[in-house]
Each structure stands twice: as C-alpha cells, then as structure tokens.
Structure 1
Amino acid sequence: MMPARGRRPFFGDVRFLIGVALVVVSVVGVWMLVSSSRSTTPVLQATRTVLPGESISAAELQVVEVGLGSTAEAYLAPQTLEPGAVATRTLVEGELVPLSAVGAADDMRSTTVVVSSTAVPADVVPGTVVELWHAPPREDGRAFDEPRILVADAVVAAVAEEEGMLTGERTKVELVVDRADVADVLAAITGGDAISLVPTGARS
C-alpha cells in the first residue's frame, strides 16, 4: 500500500496564480504598447512659415500621419480647422500645428506697423522676435537721447531695403506688435526717433 501524497499548500497555489497573472498583464501591456506605437493620427503641418495674425487655410497646411498617442488631441486636425482661423504665434515651416497656436481673427490683439532703421542685423528675418529700441532726438537736433526699449517682443513680418540714393541704406521692417503698443511706435516714427532692432534669439 503506497503512502498518500500530501496536499499542495494553499499558499503555493496562490503564488502560482499570481505569477500567471503577472505574465498575462505583461503580455497585454506589451501588446497595447506595440499597437499604440503603430497607430497614427492625421494632423495638420505648416508648409511655410506663418506669422501671427496670418490666415491659416489649406494653402498653408498639409495633412500628415503621425504617431502622437494621447497627445494627438493637442494638435489641429483637418476636421477641426475653422474658416477664418489665424495664427496666434509664428508657425515655422514643417511644424505640426498646435491648437494653442490657432485662433479667430476677431480675437487677435496684434497688428503690423512698418519702421525704418539703419541698424538691422543680418539675422533678422521673418519670424524673428526682436526688441524695438528708440532714441528721441534732442532739442538741438544734432544728437539723440539715450536709447530705450519701445517694444520688448515684436515679431518681424517682412524685411525690405529702401530704394533711393537719399535713404542712407535704411531698411524697412514690418513688425507684428500688440495693439496697445501701436500709438507709442507711431509717435516714435513721426517724432524722428532713431529706431533699432535687437534680436532676442527667440522665435515667436
């Protein structure tokens, strides 16, 4: 007569079941991760540099399929582009368009002004963020006061050399500025202030 086998301890069975459950969870997690990495979402990408206040339409955008996962909702999708939408900041060519960079034209607090300067650095191009400095003329008309900041964060919209022999190699620069700064900028222009642009090293 063979001796009866002892029953397996209950604690051993529980550890076995826990081990099986951990393996299943691990396999499911890997499968979900691989599935997520393979899924893509159609979002809009800028095909050229778009400046603040410029319209955003099919002419400036293209649809691309990218794997953004849970962050996809933060970007502009083809079906969410509203007619009359404008950029609220500079969109660099090739950039995926965030929803935060798109708004309605009626909500824009910026506009453009044109200034003329003889001191425009070569690296000032459309999209560059600059400080706008000015120096008012002194009463004798022979010199200027100490320069001071007029606008701390203007965005360059366009740069063009002025034509004519009497321009002194001046450069016209179209700037995107807050509407609250327009009066001060126009006063500096009409007052004959010396105007200079200083790049901040940033892009809008």
Structure 2
Amino acid sequence: MALSRTLRAPRIDLRFVIGLLLVCVSVAGVWWVVQTARVTQPVLVAQQAIVPGQTITARHVTALDARLAEASDDYVSPEALEEGLVAARTIPAGELVPVSATTTPEAIDRARVVVESALEIPGDVDAGALVELWAAPAVSPGVFDEPQVIVPGAVVAEVLSSDGMMAARGSRVELVVDRDRVAEVLRHASSGSALSVVPVAAEGGAR
C-alpha cells in the first residue's frame, strides 16, 4: 500500500519579516543621514561688517563650502551677488549671510549722514556698531540747552579720520539713519547744535 504525503508550504513568520524591514529602513536612514551630512554647498560669509543699506559686493564677502542640510535655502549663494543685494540689517564679520538679512535697493528706507561728534568716539566703536545720536541745541555762542536723543538707533558706517583741532575735540562719523530722521539731523547740524555719538551698550554688558 502506497503511502501518500501531503506537501505543505513553509510557514513564514510575519514578525521576522517586519523585523527585517525595520532593519532595512534603519540602515537606509543612517546611510541617508551620513550622505546628507557630507554634502556641502557654497555660501557667502561676511569678511567685514556690512551695514544696513550697503550693497553687498565681492569685496565684502567670500565663498565658503558649508554643510547646511535642510537650511541650505536660508543662506545667500555666490550667484546671488549678481542680483544687487543690499543689507537689510547689520551683518557682522564672520557671519554666514542669511537671505533674511538682505533686500533690494528699492526696499531700503535709510540714508547716510556724516556728523561731527562733540564727544570722542571710543576706540572699540567700528563699522556696524549701534549708537545713539544726541543733540544739544545752541542757545548762544558757547552755551547749549539740555541734550536730547534725536536718533535712537543709528548704525556706524565708518569712523572717519579727523585732522587738526577737530581731532582733539571730537570725531567725524558716518552714520546710517532712518530716512525720516535725516531732516532733523541736518537741522541740528546747520543750526550749530552740539552733536554727540553715544555707543549703545550690548545686552548683558556693563551699564
């Protein structure tokens, strides 16, 4: 009598399959992270302080290969220099230039003025420093009224060299100010007010 055998398909453990898929996904994820971390792209870094309203040119920045991953679109690429970008805020030296800190010339509502400061400018005040501009109206020759702040948030564009007597009693400073403050600055300058540039202390610094 012939013996018959029933052939059965091998049973596959579903838990084993799920575990294998999870391992594959994990390995693929690690590989993707490693590969992404190795990818660099050229971005711009400021070689010097760039003040608001200043056109960003090749002499202000240099290209740097950086690993930015998902943040790559947040920073300015070298190709963007051809678009005539302008700084919307102060960009300190050494900072990667963020797209949010740039704008177009048409969007800038600031102007530059040169003032003679009655007070000597501290040696550590340079381009990009935040200052206040104070004015003491002239009452009579050599007599001035109480000083008041006329520009609370000016930015130093450049501390200019002074010669002769001006070097002894103050400093010439080029400031970036809001356009709606220009008329008042010019009025005080033309009427003989004593103008003083006063550095604004950084938060957390000495007071």
TM-score range, shorter chain: 0.7 to 0.9
Q: Note the 1:46-125 alignment, pairs <5 A.
A: 46-119=46-119, 120-125=121-126
Match of 2:28 in 1: 28
- Residues of 1 paired with 2:97 and 2:106: CA distance? 20
Distance in 1 separating the partners of 2:180 and 2:104: 19
The corresponding residue for 1:4 is none
User: Structure 2: which 5+ runs fail to align?
Assistant: 1-9, 203-207
TM-score, normalising length from structure 1?
A: 0.82
Q: Taking every aligned residue pair, what percent have the same amino acid on both sides?
A: 44
Number of residue pairs aligned between Structure 1 and Structure 2: 192
Q: Which residue of 2 aligns with 1:132?
A: 133
Displacement, 1:111? 1.0
Taking a change above 3 Å as real, the CA distance of residues 27 and 129 of structure 1, as seen in their structure-2 partners, is same
State the Cα distance separating 1:88 from its structure 2 match. Answer: 2.1
Contact 1:56–1:85 under 8 Å retained in 2: yes
- Aligned-partner residue type, residue 47 of structure 1: Q
SS at match of 2:82: coil
Deviation per CA, 1:42-79, whole angstroms, max 9, x where unpaired? 11222333222222222333221110001010111122
Pick which of 152-161 and 173-182 moved more. Answer: 152-161
Partners of 1:44 and 1:161 in 2: how far apart? 30
8 Å contact from structure 2 (residues 53, 105) kept in 1: yes
Q: Secondary structure at the match of 1:81?
A: helix
Q: Secondary structure at the match of 1:174?
A: strand
Give the conservation status (yes or no) of the 8 Å contact 1:46–1:96: yes
- Give the deviation of 1:174 after TM superposition: 0.6
| 1:181 match: secondary structure | helix
1:139-183 deviation per Cα after TM superposition (whole angstroms, max 9, x unaligned) = x55543332221111010111343223765221111011111101
Q: What is the aligned partner in structure 2 of residue 180 from structure 1?
A: 180
Whether the aligned pair in 1 keeps the contact of 2:58 and 2:81 (CA below 8 Å) is: no
Q: Is the 8 A contact 1:50 1:93 kept in 2?
A: yes
Change (3 A) 1:21 1:63: same
Change (3 A) 1:166 1:112: closer
Number of the residue aligned with 2:7: none
| Higher mean displacement: 152-161 or 162-171 | 162-171
> Which letter does structure 2 place at the counterpart of 1:43?
V
